[in-house]
Amino acid sequence: MARAWITDRWVKDATVPLPDGTTTKISPTSAQLRAIKTLPDHFRTAKFGKGSRWTAGWYEPDGTQRQRLFARRSDAEAFTASLEDDIRSDRYIDPTAREQTFTGIAEAWLASKNRIKDSTWRRYRRELDNYVLPKWGTVAVGSITRPQVDAWVQQLRTGTAPHHFDQHERTKTPRQPVNMAPAYLQHVVRITFGGALRYALTERIIGRNPLELVELPRDEGDLEHDLPQLSYPDIETLAEAALERTSRPTDHALLRLLAYSGPRIGEATALKIRDLDTTNNRARIHRTWTVDREGHRKLGPVKTWEKRWLPILPSLMTDLVALTTGRDPDDFIFTTVRGAAVDSTNWYNRVWRTIRVDAGLATSMSVHDLRHVAATNAIAAGADVKLVQQMLGHKDATETLNTYAHLWPDRVAEVIAAVEQRRADALAAAQTLAA
């Protein structure tokens, strides 16, 4: 049985009588077919001159019969030849599947992400709605090409890409796109847009991934500034400014914990009193504040490699003990006046943003930059790569080295001097033996 075939929708064989009373079928001649507009009526089908002339038919691997129309026979022949080759080599992809819109594929991909955190789901949802779907939503997924993706990447870099932003609820002002940083562009294109394309490839909706060879810009870092740094007096000045601003020891202690131990603020504000190991000056990090798919705040686990014991300065542990004495072990360490866990966004607006102005320090730093402050001060104090990795909860030492390698002392001179000394000792020993 043929796997694929071509039929002419306009032309048929004619049945004609013979002298002996029987009938026979005759086909139009080549000349008649070339002059298709003057084809005799008895060779014309009921569909003559209506729609595309050629039908490519085929059987799918499961036996389902399909067909597709073409205006030219050469196009139908090329299609069926490719189709038969794909069927024989088990590369068959339903030609109609690739005509699905990107929106349909993206929604199916997002619905399949059952193991990710809700906060990650929200990021995918936001990037799809803001940048990906405005560009590709109505496009047939099988028609996307690498040059089209390359052009989109350039638009994202210059802030001219199609976009959709919800109007800010409070200010009612429309948000405008800006030149997209390489790290964020990598996530929008490679992770979110690419995730939907990889889903389509895996489900055999498309036969190739147009993103595969696309080159994305690299993040060259800040060429003008080094990592954020604060001296110990600077940290204490900011902590005192927090206490003066709010009159709450909680804010004073939280700032010192962020700047000296380096947890993420969601991890710090999720600490409970029972997580403190006062004997060994440590705190157990194994939960963090995150959001659900509707954006509501909730507690969630940290990633496996982020579970760790956080080192705490003895002087800071003294403050934490004073802050928590007499309270229930299941209480959060850092709480608001009403007893709820401190919210990171609220703390940024209420404390961090204001004390930077009050103290005249860290005026361009984010709360997250205090992790860098903790790491740089620990390295200057002699912490090795493994200790900094564990303190910050990095997956492996590579991540730590990529960020902080230049801060560890350069031992080149020390190594060269040691090699020179060993060389001299070896030569002296050899001369002694020769004598």
**Contact at 8 Å (CB) between 115 and 124?**
no
CA-CA distance, 274 to 252, in Å (whole number)?
A: 20
Domain with CATH 1.10.443.10 in the chain: 232-407
pLDDT, residue 223, reads: 41
Q: In 10 A of CB 381, how many CB atoms?
A: 7
Considering the chain, what percentage of its residues have pLDDT values greater than 90?
A: 73
Residue 300 phi/psi, 5-degree rounding, is -145, 165
DSSP string covering 268-284, please? HTT-BGGGEETTTTEEE
**For the domain 232-407, what is the CATH superfamily, name and number?**
Intergrase catalytic core (1.10.443.10)
Residues sharing a CB contact under 8 Å with residue 409, sequence separation 6 or more, in sequence order: none
pLDDT digits (tens, 9 = 90+) for 344-383: 999 999 999 999 999 999 999 999 999 999 999 999 999 9
CA-CA distance, 250 to 233, in Å (whole number)?
A: 19
Confidence of residue 168 (pLDDT cuts 50, 70, 90): low
CA-CA distance, 184 to 219, in Å (whole number)?
A: 10
Q: In the predicted model, is pLDDT for residue 270 greater than 50?
A: yes
DSSP string covering 79-139, please? HHHHHHHHHHTT----TTGGGSBHHHHHHHHHHT--SS-HHHHHHHHHHIIIIIHHHHTTS
Provide the 3-class DSSP secondary structure of residue 341.
Answer: strand
List b or e across 26-62, with b for residues whose CB sees 16 or more CB atoms inside 10 angstroms: eebeeeeeeebeebeeebbeeebeeeebbbbbbeeee
Q: What is the mean pLDDT of residues 151-174?
A: 82
CA end-to-end span of the chain = 94
Q: What is the DSSP letter of 140?
A: B
pLDDT, residue 237, reads: 97
Q: Which residue has the higher pLDDT, 297 or 170?
A: 297
Q: What is the Rg, in whole angstroms, of the alpha carbon atoms belonging to the chain?
A: 35
Give, for 6, the enclosing helix (H) or strand (E).
strand 4-8
pLDDT digits (tens, 9 = 90+) for 201-243: 999 898 889 999 999 998 765 544 578 899 999 999 999 999 9
Residue 215 phi/psi, 5-degree rounding, is -95, 125
**Contact at 8 Å (CB) between 221 and 336?**
no
CA-CA distance, 391 to 404, in Å (whole number)?
A: 13
Residue 56 phi/psi, 5-degree rounding, is -95, 120
CA-CA distance, 213 to 247, in Å (whole number)?
A: 57
Q: What is the mean pLDDT of residues 93-105?
A: 87
Confidence of residue 287 (pLDDT cuts 50, 70, 90): very high
Q: What is the dihedral of CA 177, 164, 195, 198, to 10 degrees?
A: -110
CA-CA distance, 167 to 201, in Å (whole number)?
A: 35
pLDDT, residue 224, reads: 44
pTM for this structure? 0.70
Confidence of residue 324 (pLDDT cuts 50, 70, 90): very high
